[in-house]
């Protein structure tokens, strides 16, 4: 019987390469040959402190070719064998109000936090048949309710590996925070997510894009400028608030996007102060379980709106793929590191800043050892 190799998270910061049986593909399902599994900050957290004790094939940002497609799968979804696709990690129910409007990310069927039966690539237990629920594997199982996007013909599988952060950039900056023509924006953190926000804001017509980072981020801050940032600030060398106020003539910015990792309360406090006098928008990511002395008074007095970063919609992914295809930005410069399947541990640590230098976006290539 044919076997499939997969890197399985077996405990906190522990990975084992295991074999699973090649699944039977029913008429309404398909099989993906995984070419690129993107890795992000969420993987760093899930790897260090797994939300479940079950073995999990991680990898939730997946690109590959349809290796097998059931007749009914092709009839319903239009995808056939040989198509290069991006697979969303959300597996929809297809019936609820969220699915109907293309916001699969809110569907209960894929809500691993609240629904123990939820299916989500990179999160669902590998004990659940047919086991292949993550991208850090040679193949992934695609049921009828997987959400797929066709990768444009002039975009390679490796280039498409950054579609998730790009689509998050469009979702958070443009849809959630309303960045558009002549907007002024502060983006905190020059990692893959912050840099993707730069690209989205630039394309949308923002008139001022400021990116913060630390001294260690010097190369990434340079890349931010290449991608369209007007100014960058090393928060260890100068006061970011003073600089933002100086750059905006004392007004503050319209929108602040927090794309830092593990920076504590500082980015939120800076965001509240750096926003304009009234009705600015602050995008947050839920890193902190507690926030002592949160300045709620300041927030309400400035009439600030807080938005939560929560993945991407169908449309944001389509636009991100179109942006890649347009080749308007040197997006290939975001793809900095690639690792084979048996180096998942190192790949995740690279994203977490523990190993390697100059990391922006890291991809796992499950076939790298054999095919290249
Ligand atoms: Zn991710
Ligand atoms: Zn649904």
Spacing, Cα 59 to ligand 2 middle (Å):
22
- pLDDT for 369 equals 73
pLDDT in tens, 224-277: 999 999 999 999 999 999 999 999 999 999 999 999 988 999 999 999 999 999
pLDDT at 370 over 80: no
- pLDDT for 137 equals 98
User: What mean pLDDT do residues 118-145 have?
Assistant: 98
Which ligand is the nearest neighbour of the Cα of 165? Answer: 1
Share of the chain above pLDDT 70, in %: 99
Residue 223, phi then psi, degrees to nearest 5: -65, -35
Which ligand is the nearest neighbour of the Cα of 166? Answer: 1
User: What mean pLDDT do residues 19-29 have?
Assistant: 98
372 pLDDT band (50/70/90 cuts)?
Answer: very low
Q: At which residue do the structure tokens 């608030």 appear?
A: 241
- Residue list, CB under 5 A from ion ligand 1: 40, 42
Sign of the CA dihedral 129, 134, 136, 139?
positive
pLDDT in tens, 334-364: 999 999 999 999 999 999 999 998 899 999 9
Spacing, Cα 60 to ligand 1 middle (Å):
6
- Please, are residues 221 and 238 in contact by the beta-carbon 8 Å criterion? no
Spacing, Cα 122 to ligand 1 middle (Å):
9
CB atoms within 10 A of CB 192: 28
Spacing, Cα 358 to ligand 1 middle (Å):
19
pLDDT at 306 over 80: yes
Q: Give the rounded distance of the alpha carbon of 201 from its chain centre.
A: 17
Spacing, Cα 144 to ligand 2 middle (Å):
13
Spacing, Cα 126 to ligand 1 middle (Å):
19
- pLDDT for 149 equals 98
Which ligand is the nearest neighbour of the Cα of 115? Answer: 2
User: What mean pLDDT do residues 15-40 have?
Assistant: 98
- Contact partners, residue 63, CB within 8 Å, separation at least 6: 34, 35, 36, 37, 38, 84, 85, 86, 87, 151, 157, 160, 161, 163
- The region of weakest confidence among 80-94, 189-203, 244-258, 278-292 is 278-292
User: What mean pLDDT do residues 113-128 have?
Assistant: 96
pLDDT at 333 over 80: yes
- pLDDT for 1 equals 79
- pTM here is 0.95
Task: Name the average pLDDT for the chain.
Answer: 96
Residue 82 region, left (φ>0) first, then alpha (ψ -120 to 50), else beta? left
371 pLDDT band (50/70/90 cuts)?
Answer: very low
């Amino acid at each position: 019987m044919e076997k499939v190799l997969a890197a399985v998270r077996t405990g906190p910061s522990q990975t084992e390469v295991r074999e699973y049986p090649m699944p039977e593909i029913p008429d309404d399902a398909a099989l993906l040959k995984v070419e690129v599994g993107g890795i992000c900050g969420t993987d760093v957290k899930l790897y260090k402190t797994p939300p479940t004790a079950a073995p999990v094939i991680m990898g939730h940002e997946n690109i590959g070719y349809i290796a097998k497609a059931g007749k009914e799968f092709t009839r319903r979804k239009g995808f056939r064998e040989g198509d290069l696709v991006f697979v969303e990690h959300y597996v929809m129910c297809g019936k609820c109000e969220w699915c109907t409007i293309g916001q699969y990310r809110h569907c209960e069927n894929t809500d691993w936090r609240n629904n123990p039966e939820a299916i989500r690539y990179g999160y669902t237990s590998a004990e659940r048949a047919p086991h292949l629920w993550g991208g850090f594997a040679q193949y992934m199982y695609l049921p009828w309710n997987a959400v797929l996007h066709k990768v444009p013909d002039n975009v390679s599988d490796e280039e498409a590996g950054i579609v998730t952060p790009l689509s998050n950039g469009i979702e958070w900056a443009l849809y959630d925070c309303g960045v558009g023509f002549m907007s002024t924006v502060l983006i905190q953190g020059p990692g893959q997510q912050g840099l993707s926000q730069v690209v989205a804001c630039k394309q949308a017509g923002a008139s001022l894009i400021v990116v913060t980072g630390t001294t260690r981020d010097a190369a990434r801050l340079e890349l931010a400028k290449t991608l369209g940032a007007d100014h960058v600030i090393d928060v260890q060398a100068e006061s970011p608030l003073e600089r933002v106020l100086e750059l905006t003539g004392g007004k503050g910015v319209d929108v602040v996007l927090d794309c830092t990792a593990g920076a504590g309360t500082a980015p939120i406090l800076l965001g509240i102060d750096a926003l304009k006098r009234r009705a600015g928008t602050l995008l947050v990511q839920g890193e902190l379980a507690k926030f002592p002395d949160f300045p709620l008074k300041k927030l309400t007095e400035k009439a600030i709106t807080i938005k939560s970063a929560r993945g991407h919609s169908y449309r944001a992914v389509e636009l991100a793929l179109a942006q890649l295809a347009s080749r308007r930005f040197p997006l290939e410069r975001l793809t900095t590191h690639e690792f084979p399947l048996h180096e998942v541990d190192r790949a995740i640590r690279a994203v977490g800043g523990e190993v390697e230098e100059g990391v922006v976006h890291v991809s796992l290539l499950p076939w790298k050892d054999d095919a290249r």
